[in-house]
């Protein structure tokens, strides 16, 4: 027989190769098992730290804050709009401080019967039981006219006496500077 043929040795080589393969597969399976265990632990820690309930609570609180900010921004928009509208009205509004300063010159014993004014003119009808307060008022208006304060021109429309009541009626028209 032939000495080169060795059936037993050949079987041992194949069994060694299969053992090596089995050993490699065992090692690979242990590595994969280790990786799976590692990722399982990481996922468990992440779930414990960032639970869905806490995430939902954070989400709800963020949504509430956003809605509160929307309410505030809406209120702020309304307030700013009102401020702008008031500013426009104030800019367009006529200044009647000159009329107020002329009315302050009216003595206490004189009553105002009629008052008409615009941005350029001022007409007033006054009632008094005496001519002296009416004279004082006319003199104060003339003083403003000569100093060129507020009044550009002054016209006495009428001066009359109601004999039944004993009251004097004075009607004056003035133009503003």
Higher pLDDT, 85 or 99: 85
DSSP state of 122: E
Q: Tell me what percent of the residues of the chain surpass a pLDDT of 90.
A: 24
Mean pLDDT of 51-59: 77
Give the residue-averaged pLDDT of 59-66: 87
Q: What is the pLDDT of residue 107?
A: 87
From CA 125, how far away is CA 173, in angstroms rounded? 9
Model confidence at 36, in pLDDT bands (50, 70, 90)?
very high
- CA nearest to 174, candidates 142, 147, 132, 136: 142
Domain positions in the chain? 8-89, 97-176
CATH class of 97-176: alpha beta
Question: Residue 8 pLDDT > 70, yes or no?
Answer: no
**Residues facing residue 122 across a β-bridge:** 117, 174
Residue 12's pLDDT band, with cuts at 50, 70 and 90, is low
pLDDT at residue 28 is higher than 80:
yes
pLDDT grade, residue 2 (50/70/90)?
low
Tokens (6 digits) for 76: 């702020």
Share of the chain above pLDDT 70, in %: 92
pLDDT at 83 over 90: yes
Whether this prediction's pTM lies above 0.85 is answered by no
- pLDDT (0 to 100) of residue 11: 57
């Amino acid at each position: 027989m032939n000495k080169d043929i060795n059936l037993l040795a050949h079987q041992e080589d194949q069994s060694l190769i299969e053992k090596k393969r089995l050993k490699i597969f065992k090692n690979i399976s242990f590595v994969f098992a280790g990786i799976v265990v590692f990722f399982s632990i990481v996922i468990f820690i992440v779930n414990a730290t960032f639970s869905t309930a806490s995430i939902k609570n954070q989400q709800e609180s963020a949504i509430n804050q956003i809605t509160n900010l929307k309410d505030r921004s809406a209120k702020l928009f309304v307030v700013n709009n009102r401020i702008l509208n008031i500013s426009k009205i104030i800019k367009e509004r006529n200044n009647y401080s000159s009329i107020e300063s002329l009315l302050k010159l009216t003595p206490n014993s004189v009553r105002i019967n009629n008052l008409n004014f615009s941005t350029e003119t001022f007409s007033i009808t006054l009632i008094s039981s005496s001519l002296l307060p009416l004279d004082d008022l006319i003199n104060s208006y003339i003083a403003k006219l000569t100093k060129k304060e507020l009044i550009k021109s002054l016209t006495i429309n009428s001066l009359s006496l109601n004999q039944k009541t004993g009251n004097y009626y004075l009607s004056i028209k003035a133009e503003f500077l």
